[in-house]
Amino acid sequence: MPSAVSVRRHAAVVLLACACATAANAALPWQEFACNARAATDPLAFQPRKFGGTLGAAAEKAPPFVYPGRDPRNDRDDDGAAEEKPSVALRLSNGWLLGSNRGEWGGEVAYQPDDAAVHIVEEANVIDIVELPFGVVVLEGLAHLEQDRGSILLAELKGGKVGLKPLHGLPAQPRSLRLLEDGSLLITTRQGQLVLGVRGELTPVRCTP
C-alpha cells in the first residue's frame, strides 16, 4: 500500500501536468476553420515563377540549377562536396532562391543571383519556398526516427544578398501546404494544422467541412 507521502507526490505530479496542459492550450487557441472552402481556386495567381513545392512541376520551370552541396554520405577522402540539384525554387526580383532536402542527410537554402555565382545561405531541410503577402518564407523540417520538427524562416533580400531569420517554430515537420483564397497558407503537420496569415501570424486551426 503506498504511503501518504507517495500519494501526495503523485497528486502533485498530476496537478502539475494538468496545469502545464492548460497553459499550453491557453497559448495555442485553436480556431474552427473551413479549410476546403477557403482553398485558392487559382494558386498561380498568388505566386511568381516557380518549380516544385506547392505549385508542382506544372508552373513555369526555372533554369537548370546546380550548386555545391555537402552530403555526409560523400565525406570519405574528400570534403564531402557534391553537386546538388534543388527540389524547389522561387524567383525573386534579381535571382532565384533554391531549396534542397536529403532527409537525414541534410539540405540547403541557396541563392542564385542573376549576375553572380550561386552561394549557400543556410543549411536546412527545405520543404517549400512560398511567397505570401508579407514576404517570402522557407518552410523546413525533418521527421526521422524519434525526431519530428519544423520551422518557418523569413527570407530577407538586402543589397543583393539573402538572409534568413526565424519566424515561427512548428509542432512537427510540414507534411502538406495549401494556399488559401485570402493569400494565407494552410500548413498540415502530424501534430495538427496551422494557418500562416497574410501579416505573418501563425494560428492553430481545426479544419471543418
Give per-residue pLDDT as tens, 18-33. 333 333 333 445 667 7
Per the structure, the complete domain to which residue 132 belongs is given by: 46-174
Q: Considering the domain boundaries, does residue 200 fall inside one?
A: no
Per-residue pLDDT tens over the stretch 128-157: 999 999 999 999 999 888 889 999 999 998
Alpha-carbon dihedral angle through residues 80, 52, 121, 132, given to the nearest 10 degrees: -160
Query: CA–CA separation, 112 vs 122, rounded Å?
Result: 13
Query: CA–CA separation, 126 vs 206, rounded Å?
Result: 25
Does this model's pTM top 0.85? My answer is no
Query: CA–CA separation, 165 vs 121, rounded Å?
Result: 11
pLDDT of 89 > 80? The answer is: yes
Q: Considering the domain boundaries, does residue 84 fall inside one?
A: yes
Domain count, the chain: 1
pLDDT of 126 > 50? The answer is: yes
Q: Considering the domain boundaries, does residue 75 fall inside one?
A: yes
Q: Considering the domain boundaries, does residue 26 fall inside one?
A: no
Q: Considering the domain boundaries, does residue 198 fall inside one?
A: no
Per-residue pLDDT tens over the stretch 17-73: 333 333 333 344 566 777 766 666 555 455 556 777 776 654 455 566 776 766 656
Q: Considering the domain boundaries, does residue 192 fall inside one?
A: no
Q: Considering the domain boundaries, does residue 179 fall inside one?
A: no
Contact 127, 93 (CB under 8 A): no
pLDDT value for 77: 46
Q: Considering the domain boundaries, does residue 121 fall inside one?
A: yes
